[in-house]
A = this chain, B = another copy of it.
Amino acid sequence: MRTLHHWPLDPDSRQARLALAEKKLKFKLISVAPWAPTEAFLGVCVEGVPPCLVEDTDGGKAIISTARAICEYVTDDGSGRMPLLPHSARERAEARRLCHWFDVKFANDVNAYILTERLEKCLSATGAPDPSELRIGRGHLKFHLEYMEWLLESRDWLACNQMSLADLAAGAHISCLDYLDEIKWSKWSGLKEWYQKLKSRPSFRPLLKDTIPGLRPPHHYADLDF
């Protein structure tokens, strides 16, 4: 039995869902808003922030939180099946560098503005989005999309020529922004091709079905041929 406490439009939770699905691990989802953790969730996860994976193992219950630890945990199963990190040590390092880039830099530069203003404030009813904060976040987003396009000029996937945790991290972020229609795809051809490949994977399907009451995604959000 495996349960993931997550929030549908949280990039970190999405990374964990993608990694579990890529490894073909079955799991149950329990939704918890990052800004309003329930008592039940706090009883499971001391930090009180999704994602948190709870798994029954031979050695008892494993409780693993943070997207990074969950992604490495499901990758690191010793089986070699559906590898989510490349075979070469250098490429693994590049994948982990990019995971960190999305976990920290992208999150601070972009999410801290766009997702906080458009999702958290709206859904927690703590105020209207501040246009100046959104402008800062959108400026940063443009820089990050340019960087991703540049990486994809010489690689099939973000870290190397194989899909890796770096693509799941990036795809998790990009998909949340796409739900909010923040990406003008006509401007980003290399990135669009990469995102089309990612969206077509079975692991991505459940994310494309997510809906948040009162916040409808654009038509192209779930379209594989957008």
Contact = CB atoms under 8 A, between A and B. Distances in A.
Contacts of A96: 66, 68-69, 72-73
Among A62, A77, A100, residue most surrounded by chain B Cβ atoms (within 10 Å): A100
A90 B69 contact: no
A66 B101 CA distance: 8
Contact of A73 (B57, B64, B92, B99): B92
Contacts of A99: 68
Nearest to A151: B46
A92 B72 contact: yes
Contact of A89 (B73, B94, B100, B101): B73
Interface residues of A, number: 28
How many copies the complex holds: the figure is 2
A76 interface: yes
A76 to B, nearest CB: 6
A94 B108 CA distance: 24
A67 to B, nearest CB: 8
Contact of A64 (B62, B69, B70, B93): B93
Given A68-B96, A96-B72, A59 B101 contact: no
Contacts of A216: none
A176 to B, nearest CB: 18
B66 A100 contact: yes
Given A69-B96, A69-B97, 16 more contacts: A62-B89, A62-B90, A64-B90, A64-B94, A65-B97, A66-B96, A66-B97, A66-B100, A68-B96, A68-B99, A68-B100, A69-B94, A72-B92, A73-B92, A73-B93, A76-B89
